Amino acid sequence: MFSDQGRTLIMTAVSEEKRAIQRGLQNNPNIDVMLAGVGPVSAAAHTAKLLATGKYKLVISTGIGGGFIGKAEVGTLVVSNLIAAADIGVETLDGFRRLEELGFGSTQVEVDSELVFRVTEALQAEKIHMVIGPIITVATATGTAESADERARRVLGAAAEGMEGYGVALAAQIFGIRALEIRAISNLVGPRDRSAWRMKEAFDLLEKTYSVLGEIL
Ligand SMILES: O=C(O)c1cccc(C(=O)CC[C@H]2O[C@@H](n3cnc4c(=O)[nH]cnc43)[C@H](O)[C@@H]2O)c1
């Protein structure tokens, strides 16, 4: 169903993430690393523009991310098996309702299991500390313990949170191209404490990750 011909596109939100990935890839001629901007709308628009060139077989949304407590600690890599928007829906008096419940379509993109296997096998071989699980996408980063609990409940087993994955994955789905999301955990999802973010460790983990994946993508 999916083509094996073509290049791999890596979409990342900000320049610092892009530079870390490029260091890992070391001028790999088959892979383009491009900026998506921050947030799902910017990510979807930029990704769709690039996929319209017809050059790509695979797109990866990647960068630093928040880890859910008990699922992905700081310093861990999360590889998605599901990419899910966690704040597209409606609030009702009985709580949040996803688009699916309203009959307005889907807010989730499943990741091809063969692709997850191939990527995680390569990372495990290099002893990269990694978990596989759903990664949620939010337009507003979570900043309280209550929102973290509420959003984790919306997507069963949610391991990590970012702000671009679903936008990238939806664009890929529209073009019939496989999508994957990978996050290096820089902080825990919950009360905002910027001083606790471990950015350098997360950028180093991104670099190491793509030095491995450059060999197999
Ligand atoms: O200063 C802040 O409090 C702050 C809060 C959320 C995100 C940022 C960014 O710098 C956004 C950059 C980028 O990072 C991803 N990210 C990292 N951690 C999280 C998170 O816990 N929840 C959602 N997104 C996160 C995200 O994909 C952004 O593109 C600053």
Among protein residues, the one with the nearest Cα to ligand 1's atom 17 is 65
- Compute the distance between CA of residue 165 and CA of residue 137 in angstroms, rounded to an integer: 6
Question: What is the value of pTM for the model shown?
Answer: 0.96
pLDDT at position 2:
58
When pLDDT is cut at 50, 70 and 90, the band that residue 3 belongs to is low
Q: Check: CB of residue 186 under 8 Å from CB of residue 199.
A: yes
Which of 41, 101, 139 has its CA nearest to residue 147?
139
- Check if 64 has its Cβ closer than 6 Å to any atom of ligand 1: yes
CA of 3 to the centre of ligand 1 (A): 33
Compute the distance from residue 65 Cα to the ligand 1 centre, in Å: 6
- Which of 163, 189, 205 to probe ligand 1 with, by most ligand atoms within 8 A of CB? 163
DSSP at 26: T
> Would the CB of 65 count as within 6 Å of ligand 1?
yes
- Is 181's C-beta closer than 6 angstroms to any atom of ligand 1? no
Residue located nearest, by CA, to atom 7 of ligand 1: 141
State pLDDT tens for residues 6-26.
999 999 999 999 999 999 999
Whether the CB of 133 sits within 6 Å of ligand 1: no
pLDDT of residue 121: 97
* pLDDT digit string, tens, across residues 56-100: 999 999 999 999 999 999 999 999 999 999 999 999 999 999 999
Q: Do the Cβ atoms of 43 and 164 come closer than 8 Å? A: yes
Q: Is 164 in the pocket of ligand 1 (CB under 6 A)?
A: yes
pLDDT tens digit sequence for 99-120:
999 999 999 999 999 999 999 9
Q: Is the CB of 13 under 6 A from ligand 1?
A: yes
Strands 89-92 and 95-98: antiparallel
Q: Is residue 121 part of a domain?
A: yes
> Ligand 1: does its nearest atom lie under 6 Å from the Cβ of 167?
no
pLDDT band per the 50, 70, 90 thresholds, residue 5: confident
- Determine, yes or no, domain membership for 1: no
For ligand 1, the distance from its centroid to the CA atom of residue 36, given in whole angstroms, is 14
What CATH number should be reported for the domain holding residue 93? Answer: 3.40.50.1580
pLDDT digits (tens, 9 = 90+) for 133-142: 999 999 999 9
Q: What is the pLDDT of residue 1?
A: 44
**Range(s) of the domain holding residue 169:** 7-213
Q: What spacing in Å lies between the alpha carbon of 143 and ligand 1's midpoint?
A: 10
Q: In this structure, is residue 185 part of a structural domain? A: yes
In the chain, the N- to C-terminal Cα span, in Å, equals: 18
153 in a domain, yes or no?
yes
Asked if 120 and 132 touch (Cβ cutoff 8 Å), the reply is yes
Please indicate, yes or no, if residue 2 is contained in any of the structural domains: no
Whether residue 110 is contained in a domain is answered as yes
| Cα(131) to centroid(ligand 1), Å | 20
Task: Note the pLDDT tens digit of each residue in 180-208.
Answer: 999 999 999 999 898 999 999 999 999 99
Atom of ligand 1 nearest to the CA of 192: 3
Is pLDDT of 217 > 80?
A: yes
Within a domain: residue 146? yes
**Considering the domain boundaries, does residue 114 fall inside one?**
yes
Residue 166 has pLDDT above 70, yes or no: yes
Count of domains for the chain:
1
